[in-house]
Structures are given as C-alpha cells and as structure tokens.
Amino acid sequence: MPNHYLRVHKLPQAVDEKELSGTTVIVIDLLRATSTICQALASGAREVVPFLDVDDALAAAKGTDRASIVLGGERRGGKIPGFDVGNSPAEYTSQVVGGKRVFITTTNGTRAMHHARLASRVVLGSFLNLSAVAASIKSEPAIDILCAGTDGSETDEDILAAGSIVHALCYVDGAPSNQEISESAAMAGAAWSLLNTKANMASRPVRDELAVVLRDTAGGRNLIGIGLDQDIVDCAQIDRYDVVPELDLQAWRITAR
C-alpha cells in the first residue's frame, strides 16, 4: 500500500474493519444520517451520540436528564416510536437541539460508523459540509471513504458524495495531489464530474442538478415513497455549513470541529 492513498468503499462489508485501522475514514450516509448529524451540530447541538440499536439509545436516555437529550433516528425511514424526532435534517433546528445532546440510531449510518471504530480518525461527510471535510483531511496520508449503502446494497447517492470528496482532494489548491487513488475512487470521482458537466450543459446550479439526480437513487426513491421528498432537496445543499462532525472513538461521541 502506498504512503499516500485514497480509497472508496461502496459498502462497509466491502472492506474488513481491520483494513481501516490507523487510517482516516470519512463515513457517508447521504440520505440521511451524515447530513442530519451535520445539520444537528450546525444548529448548536452539544454532541451527537450514535447507537446501533433502538433499545440502547432508549436505555441511555433514561439514565440522564431527559430534558437535555433529543432522541432521533429512523427505522424503515420513519420516526421511531417514543423518539423526539426522525432522521430529516429539517427537524434538527436550533430550537430543538441547541445546547442539547442528540442520541441517534439509524438503519445504515450508525452501523457504518461502528465499522470504522478501529480507524485513527473518523469524520462524517455530506454535501452540506463538502469543502469543510475536504479541507480538514487534505493533509492526511491514508484516507478511506466508507459508504453506508442501504440494507446491504450500494447506493448511488453515497457514491456521488464520495466522488465529490475525491474530486476535492485530488485537486488541492488547484493542483493534482500526490495521492494514489483506488479504481472505485476514480469511478466515484468520474460520476461527480459527469454530474457537474450535465449541470453546466443545462445552465443550472449543480445543487439543482444534484437534487434531480438524487430523486432517482435508491435512497431518494425510498424517501419519495414515504412522503419525505424535501429531505432530498435539503441534503443536496452544497457547502451550506463549515462544520466537520468528528467521532471521538474513545468517548464515542460526535462533535463539531
């Protein structure tokens, strides 16, 4: 393995967790966990604690001052019974999460975070914080972008988001970087470049083209099917926040850098 490399893994099961040991991992669950966590921190949440299971999140909340906790997450895309909010970014306003701790569990995103627990550093990526994430890791020698997928299947929305980060990292300050990239990283970067080309040809903002494309992804279709179309638009807002959610692997909590 070269000293400087950039890899994209289309699913957690595509890479053994031991291979991520000592690397910098960017976890992406675009629709919607990593976008929602970015929104929560941008709205002033003190921290976000990810849980694998609903029961674990509920048990942890019972052992605290419940007024200081916001329980959030989803199963089958919908809000979990007994939870305060679901997994839509728009729910995580400053009025709801400001100054509070957020306990969150999702079907795919929090499991991808757990898969990266042996890494030296874990950050969460989305379109909302694309440039901030790229800037925060551009000097890291070994980078793995880990896509969460949906129920064990690859999702184009995660791969597109990964490609946007690949593109940002491969041209640091306008010049090509010295990182070697994997074949899957090159393909993800090409997919992002193609979307930008289509946007330019149609003379419309990239975020508008992105919102259209995301509707036809697996995650986008799932959201449309449960009446959460607006989440697609909200998750397609590029560089809305200068926030880098970073997972403290010892304390197991996500805070803003």
Q: Supply the range of the domain harboring residue 205.
A: 5-242
Amino acid 179: pLDDT: 73
Task: Give every CB contact of residue 205 below 8 A, 6+ residues apart in sequence.
Answer: 199
Q: Encode the chain (257 residues) as per-residue pLDDT tens digits.
A: 556 799 999 999 999 999 999 999 999 999 999 999 999 999 999 999 999 999 999 999 998 899 999 999 999 999 999 999 999 999 999 999 999 999 999 999 999 999 999 999 999 999 999 999 999 999 999 999 999 999 999 999 999 999 999 999 986 554 456 678 999 999 999 999 999 999 999 999 999 999 999 999 999 999 999 999 999 999 999 999 999 999 999 999 999 99
Residue 252: inside a domain:
no
End-to-end CA distance of the chain: 29
* Per-residue pLDDT at 68: 97
Domain containing 66 — which CATH number? Answer: 3.90.1560.10
Task: Please give the model's pTM, rounded to 2 decimal places.
Answer: 0.96
Q: Determine, yes or no, domain membership for 249.
A: no
Q: How many distinct structural domains can be found in the chain?
A: 1
In a domain, 47, yes or no: yes
Pairing type for strands 171-172 and 253-256 reads unpaired
Is 256 contained in some domain? no
Is 247 a member of any domain? no
Mark out the alpha helices in 63-205 (DSSP H runs).
94-97, 109-115, 130-137, 156-170, 183-201
The contacts of residue 116 (CB under 8 Å, 6+ apart) are 17, 20, 25, 27, 122, 144, 146, 247
Q: How far is CA 171 from CA 135, 182, 229, in A?
A: 11, 16, 33
Residue at 250 is within a domain: no
Burial 222-250 (b: 16+ CB within 10 A, else e): bbeeeebeebbbbbbbeebbebbbbbeee
Within a domain: 98: yes
| Element housing 99 (H / E) | none
CA–CA gap between residue 228 and residue 182 (Å, rounded): 34
Q: pLDDT at position 176, please?
A: 52
The CB density around residue 4, as the number of other CB atoms within 10 Å, is: 14
- Domain-located, residue 106: yes
